[in-house]
Amino acid sequence: MSDAATGAVVTGFGAVTPLGVGADALHERAVAGESALHDGLGSCHGFRALDHLSRHLVRRTDRFTQFTLVAADEALTRAGWTPGGIPYDAARVACVIGCGLGGTASFEAQGPVIAEQGAEYVSALMVPQMMANAAASHLSMRYGFKGESLCVASACSSGAQAIGTGLRLLAAGAADAVVVGGAEASTSELVSAAFRNAGALSPTGRCLPFDTDRDGFVIGEGAGVLVLETAGGAARRGAEVLGAVRGYGATSDAHHLTAPDPGGGPAAEAVTQALCQAGTAPGELDYLNAHGTGTLLNDRLECDALRLALGGDALARIPMSSSKGSLGHLFGAAGAVEAIATLQALRHGVAPPTAGLRQPDERLGELDLIRTARELPGGDRPRAGLSTSFGFGGHNAALVLSTP
């Protein structure tokens, strides 16, 4: 069996989220049940780009790119990579960073400029800052990655599908290693107003996935980046393996631009594909990090889809939580950050609760929802987890991750 046939190993990961800078802060504060949601937003208040990046770089990048570079620095440091010290042929290292909306702040900032000062005063940097592929481009330049570099833009499943794209590049032999993830920084009033008018935002400013009182999502921001290599490649360079991405599945609803398929079939199929590729049975899953947006419709349809894919008996026994009660909805970053949260839960043997969950909605069916941190069973086999992502446009993605 080839390296690619068993997925990819994770040798590094990093995150910037409303819970703090670093993947350890993400895990530790989530396990403690903390929520970083304030005033109806999940903002990265503690993040100062100049603490991590040069002034020159900060002036030329949007916030979502800055998040990506800092998360990537952490991931690549964990993996033992340094600028100028790539352990592979640079032309064989690919970079895939998902993003749903791109540099909205950089775009919005120039509206008043052209209106009040004139077209000649609009920043020439606006397009390079706002383009959704800016994060992947800057990451490639920062580390000298000369393999394929691109952005996956599939709304809220972008980060998960970026990881899946990286897996496929490895499996096809098109790369020896891939740096993958997702980023988003769209907490502006303009974006908020659009989602509020669509009826998706929580009017109370809370995000309570699976709770009887849930009333919508809260916008968050951040980035998550992972370093994926083949098992053989990691072994040859003596790298520490932190985990593995065993399986990936993705489908399209082909139903509606914003509403999910009411039957849940395509979403269930994405989960089934991921489990099949991983060679993992539903009963072998130790943890499920659900997309769990906190909207009445999406939580119900996700649970229906999971029940279709896993079977009701299995779903009722798998500890499940959503990160969005702590972070808000990170849009294009969500799938990558939540994959890291899943991997951290498996590695540490402790799964985080859904922050704020008090009264589970019985209409969602029988579920093992985590309300306080849950120890996961050990054993002879690696722990396995499932992370799901669903995006506007009918994009469905699922990842099966495991400990080494």
- In the residue annotation, 99 being an active-site residue is answered as no
Identified catalytic residue from 27, 138, 329, 395: 329
In this structure, is the dihedral angle defined by the CA atoms of residues 220, 369, 386 and 294, taken in order, positive or negative? negative
Identified catalytic residue from 44, 99, 151, 156: 156
Type of residue found at 115: A
CA dist 169 and 324 (Å) reads 29
CB-side neighbour CA atoms (13 Å) of 348: 18
Q: What's the length of the chain?
A: 404
Beta bridge partners of 360: 211
CA dist 276 and 279 (Å) reads 5
- In the residue annotation, 348 being an active-site residue is answered as no
Which residue carries 């950089």 as its tokens? 106
- In the residue annotation, 291 being an active-site residue is answered as yes
**Other C-beta atoms lying within 10 Å of the C-beta of residue 39:** 7
Identified catalytic residue from 27, 138, 291, 395: 291
SS (H, E, C) 306-328: HHHHHCHHHHHHCEEEECHHHHC
CA dist 65 and 16 (Å) reads 11
- C-alpha gyration radius of the chain: 20
CA dist 298 and 321 (Å) reads 15
Q: Hey, which residues are catalytic here?
A: 156, 291, 329
